[in-house]
Every structure is written in C-alpha cells, then in structure tokens.
Structure 1
Amino acid sequence: MEPNPQLFDEFHPNFNVPPTTRIAAVAQDSQGARKLGRFKWGLVPNWAKDTSGSARCINARSETVLEKPSFRTSVPAKRCIIPMDGFYEWQTIGVTASSPPKPKQPVYVTRQDGRPLAVAGLWASWRDRSLGDSAPWLHSCCVITTQANDTMSPIHDRMPVVLEAEDWDDWLNVGGGSHVATPIERIIELMIPADPSILIPLWVSTGVNAVRNNHPDLIAPIKIGE
C-alpha cells in the first residue's frame, strides 16, 4: 500500500456507497506506519483468479472470519479501520399476517455523540498474474460484522464491528518496524457488538434505494409517512 499525498483531494462526501466503490481506510504497512489508502469495497483475496467475486465479499462474519479462505489470511496481517459517519440498513415496518407486503424502510445508523464511526475491516492486495510483474496492484477491503446489539436487532440481525478510540491501536497493529503484532486472542475480543447506547438509528428517505441519488438529504431524519 503506497502513500498518496493527493488522497485527501480525491475523496468527497459520499452519501450512497454501493459495493465495489473505492473507499477510504486506514491500515498499517510492513514498516509499522499508519496510512490512509483507497480500497475497493469488496475483498479480492490474493489467490483469486479475477475480481468477479468482489461484490460477494463486502462483509465478513466475525464468527467465521478465521475459517473462510477469502478472509482468514487477512486477519493476522491485513486489518484496517474504515471511517464513516454512518451506515444504512433496511427495516420492515408495520407488517402483519393479514397485511400486504410493504417495502423496507431505510434506516441511517450513526453515533449518538456525533463522532465518526471507526469500523473494523480487512484488506488484501491482488493483481492479474497473467500480466506478469508489471500488473498493477488492486487493494480491496471488507467490513467485519457481528451479531446485532439491542439497538440494531429490531432492524437487522447483523451489524458492523464498531471500534472505540482506545482499541484502534490494537486493531491496526499487525507488526512491522518496532511494533509487536496484537495477539489474535485480543483481535477476537474486539469483534463484538458495540454498546447499545453508542448508536442511534434514524428513519430516512427511500431515495437511498437508488444508487444514482447521492446528496445530504439522504441522511436527513424523517417521520414515517413523509
């Protein structure tokens, strides 16, 4: 992962991020330096023949991440933090046995205290080996999910692993330079649901259902029926 001085100029507010989009993430390189990089959202393991499976690897379940071939080699050596203001989930509201099916309502989930979320992720580097050593590297990432906490469970049975500031160093520290890598036992301890009081879910417009829509109004809270 190479440093990019122009990186901050390349990122703009994005209110509707679909899979395979290039997103920002922080990772630690082999010398122990922390760097902000651009990653394709949808992990491509280094052994993949091509990138066609990327969209299926946007999330990794914490319970099986050490077992799945796509993710297990990244856990000890390629962890990252994905910064974001919030994320969307979709909730089914007001459905009974006799009612007709209703579209799911988008919910924007953010921090109660207004600070950005630091979401645990994994990353990998891949290149097309058929092109030889001159082929460019593709850096990609995924979000680690865990079981929903009490705040999220009425909306969805899963949620991203949200890291608090005091845990960032442990998560990012994969060794390198003078750093000693965080033990895997500690990493497993971090992949747990966030305290329910940290997050607040807000109903938002169904405009987010269309990827072409990308503006601040998408995260503006609404009352159901608006």
Structure 2
Amino acid sequence: MNLSDSPAGAAVPRRVGAMEAVLTHLRGAIEGGAYAVGDKLPSEAELCRRLEVSRSVLREALRALQVMGLTASRTGKGTFVISRGPVEDATFGDYTAGDLLEVRRHVELPMAGYAAQRRTAEDLDHLSRLLERMERESDTTAWVAMDTLFHLGVAQAARNPVFRKVIEEIRDALARQSAFLTEPAGRREHSNREHRAIVRALIDGSHDDAVAAMAHHLDRVEASLASLVRPGPPEGERRP
C-alpha cells in the first residue's frame, strides 16, 4: 500500500498527504489494538518499507504520535506505545493545545486590536517583510521559526511589554504546535493568508478588523487541531 498516493483506508474520506496518511494508519493500529501498551513499534526502516514512504515523512508521523500522547521514544531502543487513546488533546511542551488556545484568545485578540491602533511604520515594514519571506519559504523548520516571530511582531506593535512577555513564555509551545499542524493539516498556505489578513488590518489601523482577523486565525488553528486529534467517524459510520 502506497500511503503517499492514496488515503489510509476507508477511515479517511478525503485525499491526504503522505504524513497524514501514515499518522492515520499508525494511530488506527494503536487505537484498534494492533499494538498494545508497552509494545515497541517496528523499526523506522521496516515501517518505511511497509508503508512505502520516506524516513522524513515517517519521522514526522512518529513525532505527531508522541504529541498525541500515544507513544514515547526511548533513545537507542525505539518507539513504544504508552496509550491506546482515544486522544482528547495534544500536548506541546508544557501546555496542552486546549490551554494554549484558551489563553491565546484572551491575549492575542486584544493584542491585535491594540497593535492596529499603536503600530509604527517600522512595525508594519517588519511584519510585511516577514510575511513575504514566509510566503516564499518551503522549508518547514524555517517557516515555523518565522511563524513565532510573526506573533511576536504583533505583540511588539501593541506597545505593551506584557503582551510580548506572554508570547515569549509560550513561544516554544507555539512553535511545536505550528510544526505539528503545518504538514498534516496543510496549514502553511492557509496560515499565510490569515497572517496577510492580520497585516492588512494593521495597515488600515482598524481595531475591529484586526481582532476579527486574529480570531479567524485562531478558529482555523483550533479546527485543524480538532481534525487531527479528534477526527470524526468514517463516512459509513456517521449518523444520518
């Protein structure tokens, strides 16, 4: 079965990328009981051979399983199942996705509004140039680093050091979350467009538009997380 060319079984009712297909396949095997808690997953080489994917794709999927709390990697020993799920929330560093989103809504919405009112020409130039780089960037790691810089830039434009301090505190978790979503959920292009809407609102100096653009951005992040962490039942199992 070539997971890069087709969905991972009937449980996936839409075309997906290779990483998401591998993630869905392995998660289904764990939650379905093919691997018990304490079992070691096959080696990376064996999984790549079975699933016909590259090692980089497989490693992204394995990292996602760890974020979901289903597996743990033990140096020199391999990847082991630590929970069969079902997954209720993902964890990024010290914070769960739910906790992050809750705080972000209380911080980044007013932050965006203040940024629209207080931004300087230098702020707008910095954010615009950063966004242009993000829109050209193809490397996931580099894009994720710029994603966190973008939110720090909005915090700087708000002219309140407390906003920047909060974003700095959760910066690592934001980066982990961004990396988790970028490939499987196809978030990069969508996020670039959402960031562009935020910058337009800041340029216009519109408090309400900036808050709305940031709210839409966080709504889409939440929806993408839900699609991965708590996916709906297969088409054939959905109630009419």
TM-score between both structures, scaled by the size of structure 2:
0.25
Greater strand share, structure number = 1
More helix by share: 2
Q: TM-score, normalised by structure 1?
A: 0.26
